[in-house]
Structure 1
Amino acid sequence: MDVLGLVDVPTWLQWVLLLVGMIVAYVIYMSWNHNTFQKMGIDGPKPHRVLGHLSTLFKEGVMKADLVLCEKYGRIFGTYETCYPTLNIAEPKLVKEIMVKQFNSFVNRRTTFADAMDAEISEMLTLLKDDHWRNVRNVMTPTFSAKKLRQMTPLINSAGDRMMENIESKIATDEDIDMHTLLEAFTMDVIASTGFGLKIDSQKNPDDPFLKNTLALKKSKWSAIVAAFIMFLPFMSRLGRSLGITFAKEATSFFLKATKDALKERRANPGVYADFMGIMADAGDAEQQDKSSGKTLLTETEIASNAVMFFFAGNDTTSSTLTFVMYHLAIYPDICDKVIQEIDDKLGKTVPDYDNVHDLTYLEMCINETMRLFPVNARVDREASRDVTIGNIEIPKGMIVNILVVAIQRDPEFWPEPEKFIPERFSAEAKANMDPFVFLPFGAGPRNCIGLRLALLTMKMAIARMLQTYRPIKSPNTQVPIEIKKLAIRPDGFVMKFERRK
């Protein structure tokens, strides 16, 4: 065989030379842009030729890595995610430029993994760009109005009833409670009802298909394989979808079917609904509605995509934050006593609802301080849609900018004794003097988290329900400090106990 025209070279050596040539070409391709930040005059650690700085994230975890890199290189530095240059920013003044003042240059989030999503769920808000994002966001926003949230409170309390029954059963047998598992199931029941009008019971039934498929979305081995494929073979990123290899296909298929069934039921039985799917049914299908009304209409793919996002993102973030709050209340009994006293004074035995939980200001301070220490997103990213200058940095079109949320929220200049849990940081007086861009648990600007009001309402109602009857306490198996996963700020198992209040 004549490979590369090497007629006089043995065949096996020709193949070896070909392989070596391919490896060299691959390494050159992956490291081709690794001088980007040197050209920009921006400091940062030296990258691995293929991995970039991914090995640091896997070794240290995203939270520790960001804190260490900020301490060493300052609030602005460059890193590489394999071959992708990423500008990292932990300077509040520049964050304001990106998220608000020059938002039109940073409308979009990164879409590196968009091609790996199933085509039927590829139109999530997190993936949409420019006017397409604006249109879908405008249609979805009324789901989280004060009127709709008030109507959702009975649904949240119904899920809360089942949560309380589960806690009582654990107390009766003196068992430890896996809080993340408990709250993950509670949050799933809330989302199923407030999102789709479905009454499920994932709290009592761990085999509930909604819960199982949500967990499958998070733990899919295929997802990790597809992600690695895109990061290390970026020039073949579209191949997976064409071959039918996408993120957690079986789980997303389940949610697509659930969404389409709920949408069909809403259209067959029109009425006034408080849930997400009711609003979506009213806003879509673009092919079936009269466009002369002037309303923005959604396609079924847009509805289905955002329903899956609603299920997955809402469950994961809310249940994790709730777990971190309960961790702090269990290990700081003096702070827990203040929260309980406030609940007793403001609510008594009254069932929590949209209006009365607004009076629980100290509880909200505890939630905010928890989100400062453990934001659900360690980073928030934006992609420059044009060449743009912020501060004295010239950012080229297409560059990914990471806002280092956890680094900002643990910066001792903005937060004295940043590792300490001090809810009073969020008193009315303290907030009045606070730079809003040093606290970013839900992002900031026009592209902040659309579901933040529902998340806060759910958390406050759930905690109030628990503390009206029980007091959280450590068990011999409670880990202090709490363990978190390396690649996401999520609890890595956390158990505690409750005792009945006298």
Structure 2
Amino acid sequence: MTQTATTKTAPGPKGLPVIGNVMQLGGADILTRYIELWKEYGDIFYLKLGPLDSFVLANPEHVHHVLVKNQTNYIKGIGYDGFRLLVGQGLVTSDGELWRQQRRLMQPPFTPKAITQFTQMMVDVTAQMLDRWQAYAQRSETVTMDAEMMRLTMSIIGRAMFSIDLGEELTEVGDALHRAFGFIPERAQGGIALPLSVPTPKHRRFKQDLEIIDGFIQRRIEEGRRNPNQDNLLSILLQSRDEETGQGMSEEQLRDEVVTLFFAGFETTARSLTWALYLIAHHPEVADKLEAESDAVLQGRAPVVDDLFNLTYTRMVVDEVLRLYPPTALLARQNVADDVIGGYPVPAKSMIVLIPFLIHRYPSVWPDAERFDPERFRPEAVDARPRNAYIPFASGPRVCLGNNFALMEMTLALSMIAARYRLSQAPLETIPHEFAGTIRPTKALRMKIEAR
């Protein structure tokens, strides 16, 4: 797409002095608010967020320009300052040479081939959960699936990273990460964010959570150094060396990357699995197809890695869930130099806001976009779509490192659940979403488990 400079400015709502449009974006339903603004102002619109010039993009071609075509002009920048309070200069938040070095160090264990080493562990942990569900099914009890999926994904990432089941300690650090991550967008939506040194109750709680997280990570790193030859991700990171410099990670870098991987490894996948079970419960025809595929492919046994190639409908379900409730619901970039997007000038140091939740509902690409329809991901339909119309894990050089891990984990879990149980929501009702770093249900998802 050719970009031609003009003198026109991008449209957008009128803001208030000093704070601009900040107050118009407040609240947990900020993603729906962005959709409303897009409907009013179009594919690119301007917001003044305090001192920042911000441009929100919805058109997949504009997204491709930022994430791929002209990606060298776009850094993570100021849009990730809040997240840096939690994960420091990890792979998600760093830029420039630091990011390139960290990516070289982190990439090897996350290639599609490398992650297959975790297949059996994922299957074993999921099977333990399903065995535990047998008692619930016999007693016709309702179960809180949010908690079940969080427990599952925390157990999987705990074993993948540290080779241990962390039990109660895992629950404590998981709760701390959950609260801390939710605090970050809440703080950003409140207007001009106060320094953390101001002793508000929320700031004190955030600092307490950071102490829990850092203590947990430090104990794991110390244990990893005492036992360096374990077959887990932490051991790989401890031993990794940059092929260009021969250097390993500093203590600070190691901490930041472990926090990033650990959080991303359970929170986002747990949310995605929860939404998957919710959507499947509302579409029994999808449940029927999932069960039929699991029966045909697995034939009553536990899955192995080669089965992933044959669980095609299950993967289509996963992809459609991630379209409606993307794990990366909001992306931000900052342009180094002036640019032109969609005919509008974008001054240097502007914040570019990309919202997969909106992009995945772009009507010319996704007809009847709110409808849950896994058939959208038939190979021929995927091939016909424009570039970057589907970006649940971002795109380009900064695509999420753990996307293959998450996709494998979700596909295995859904196939194994479908093979043994039919889940129904109790009661069957619509649950709205809210945005708190990830897209979360506004109330617990209660489900009944029926053995097949």
TM-score by length of 1: 0.81
For 2:23, the equivalent position in structure 1 comes to 55
Shift of 1:445: 0.4
Query: CA contact under 8 A between 1:116 and 1:247: conserved in structure 2?
Result: no
The CA distance in 1 between the partners of 2:59 and 2:419, in whole Å, is 41
Contact 1:223 1:248 in 2 (8 A): yes
Instruction: Say if 1:139 and 1:296, in contact at 8 Å, map to a contact too.
Output: no
The answer to whether 1:91 aligns with 2:59 is yes
Aligned residue for 2:433, secondary structure, equals: coil
SS at match of 2:45: strand
Q: Which residue of 1 aligns with 2:411?
A: 460
With over 3 angstroms needed to count, the CA separation of the structure-2 counterparts of 1:394 and 1:330, relative to structure 1, is: same
Match of 1:25 in 2: none
Aligned partners of 2:277 and 2:305: how far apart in 1? 21
Matched, 1:171 2:137: yes
Q: How far did residue 114 of structure 1 move? A: 5.0
Which of 254, 260, 263 is the matching residue for 2:221? 263
Aligned partner of 1:277: which letter?
Answer: L
- The answer to whether residue 85 in structure 2 is matched with residue 128 in structure 1 is no
Q: Report SS of the residue matched to 1:88.
A: strand
Q: Give the Å deviation of 1:429.
A: 1.2
Counterpart CA distance in 2 for 1:246 and 1:145 is 39
Distance in 2 (CA, whole Å) between partners of 1:152 and 1:292 is 25
Of the three residues 124, 130, 138, the one matched with 1:158 is 124
State the 1:227 CA deviation: 2.6
Superposed CA offset, 1:211-257 (max 9, x none) = 22222232259946993699415xx758569xxx6883333333333
Q: Deviations over 1:113-148 (max 9, x none)?
A: 359726xx4222222111111111121111212343
1:217 is matched with 177
Q: Percent identity?
A: 25
Which residue of the other structure, out of 178, 185, 188, is the alignment partner of 2:154?
188
The alpha-carbon deviation at position 393 of structure 1 amounts to 2.9
Per the alignment, do residues 81 and 163 of structure 1 end up closer, same or farther by CA in structure 2, a change over 3 Å counting? farther
Q: Which has the larger radius of gyration?
A: 1
Is 2:137–2:449's contact at 8 Å kept on the other side of the alignment? Answer: yes
Q: Does 2:420 correspond to 1:469? A: yes
- Which residue matches 2:253? 302
Contact 2:338-2:345 within 8 A present in 1 as well: yes
Query: What is the total number of aligned residue pairs between the two structures?
Result: 443
CA contact (8 A) 2:19 2:191 kept: no
Per-residue deviation at 1:370? 1.2
Q: State the distance in 1 between where 2:414 and 2:182 align.
A: 36
Give the AA of the match of 1:210. Answer: L
CA RMSD of aligned residues (A): 2.9
Task: Tell me the CA shift for residue 269 of structure 1.
Answer: 3.1
Distance 1:110 1:176, change over 3 A: farther
Cα separation, 1, equivalents of 2:18 and 2:81: 19
Q: Can you list the C-alpha shifts for 1:454-479, whole angstroms capped at 9, x where unaligned?
A: 1011111111111111012232x232
Aligned equivalents of 1:122 and 1:311: distance in 2?
Answer: 14
Cα gap change, 1:387 to 1:246, in 2 (>3 Å): farther
Structure 1 residues 148 and 257: CA distance shift in structure 2, 3 A: farther
8 Å CA contact 1:382, 1:401 repeated in 2: yes
Aligned-pair distance for 1:486?
Answer: 4.4
Alignment match, 1:438 = 389
Which residue of structure 1 lines up, in the alignment, with residue 4 of structure 2?
Answer: none
- Match for 2:316: what amino acid? M
Could you tell me which amino acid in structure 2 is paired with residue 431 of structure 1?
V
**Aligned counterparts of 2:63 and 2:342: Cα–Cα separation in 1:** 10
Q: Counterparts of 1:98-497 in structure 2 under 5 Å?
A: 98-111=66-79, 113-114=81-82, 117=85, 121-201=87-167, 208-220=168-180, 223=183, 227=187, 231-233=191-193, 237=195, 248-271=206-229, 273=231, 275-283=232-240, 294-475=245-426, 477-480=427-430, 482-487=431-436, 488-492=438-442, 493-497=444-448
Please give the alpha-carbon distance, in whole angstroms, between the structure 2 residues aligned to 1:297 and 1:393: 43
* Cα contact 1:88–1:403 (8 A) shared by 2: yes
Cα distance in structure 1, aligned partners of 2:331 and 2:205: 21
Partner of 1:77: 45
| Larger RCO (CA within 8 A; separation ≥ 6) | 2
* Helix, strand or coil at the partner of 2:75: coil
Offset from partner CA, 1:334-382 (integer Å, 9 cap, x none): 1111111111111112212332123111111111111111112332111
Report if the CA contact (8 A) 2:91-2:257 is conserved.
Answer: yes
User: In structure 2, which of residues 27, 30, 34 is the aligned counterpart of residue 66 of structure 1?
Assistant: 34
CA contact (8 A) 1:89 1:95 kept: yes
TM-score by length of 2: 0.89
Change (3 A) 1:223 1:61: closer
Contact 2:316 2:377 in 1 (8 A): yes
